[in-house]
Amino acid sequence: MSGIEVVIVIGLVAAAVAAVIFLAPKVKGVGGERQDLDVSDSAYGNFIPIGRGRFKVAGDLVYARDLIVVKKTTGGGKKPKVTTFSYFLDGIYIMADASIFGPAKEIVKVWADTELIYDVTGLQELDVKDDVTLRFKLGDAIQEPDIMQVEDEGTLAQGFPFSVLIALDRFPLKYTSDRPPSLSAEIDFEKIDPSALGLEQTGPDTGTENPDTLGNN
């Protein structure tokens, strides 16, 4: 290749690079935008655990609004504009059935996926995360609907009697990769004497019948 050809090639490359830098349109960056804002994360026929003692259980999403979207744009002028989206959930999870052993005493801990968002044991630094709002219903026989349902349905709103519920109010989905969380909770139920429910007991450790339940010999 002659010297003239080399100069021509270098000139063409330089012109192409300059065109990319100076003539390219400004790019508007968009990050994290969801196209589907519907929430559908439960299924018919899921087993609802019967509450007794103290245990950890996963909940089932039974009521939800469309996701709340907050759009934020930064940059401008000489800097490229970048638009980001934050998502929030209003939803109600059913955690346990309280129809047999009565309402729960308290909800001790709550996790969104693996993120601990509520803890009343005093062993952690948090009681509830600063940007998280929770509402609990402990499973009373007469249980009013959550305020979320009342706002949406008015006088047609129905509660969930005998159901331990956790309502998430504008829950930030940044904790769960912008999707509705898998919610789990540690729940403490009152200790109940089974005899008060008409249940027979066996003697301690022996597997034999309790004498109080035996018939006449």
Radius of gyration of the chain (CA): 29
Give bridge partners of residue 70 from the DSSP assignment. 86
Q: Structure tokens of 181?
A: 């969380």
Per residue in 18-46, pLDDT (tens digit) is 443 344 444 344 445 655 544 445 555 56
Instruction: Give the tens place of pLDDT for each residue, 85-94.
Output: 999 999 999 9
Per the CB < 8 A criterion, the answer to whether 164 and 96 are in contact is yes
Do the beta carbons of residue 182 and residue 58 sit within 8 Å? yes
Predicted structure pTM score: 0.68
Segments making up each domain of the chain, as ranges = 36-65+88-192
CA distance 212 to 54: 28
When comparing pLDDT for 14 and 101, which is higher? 101
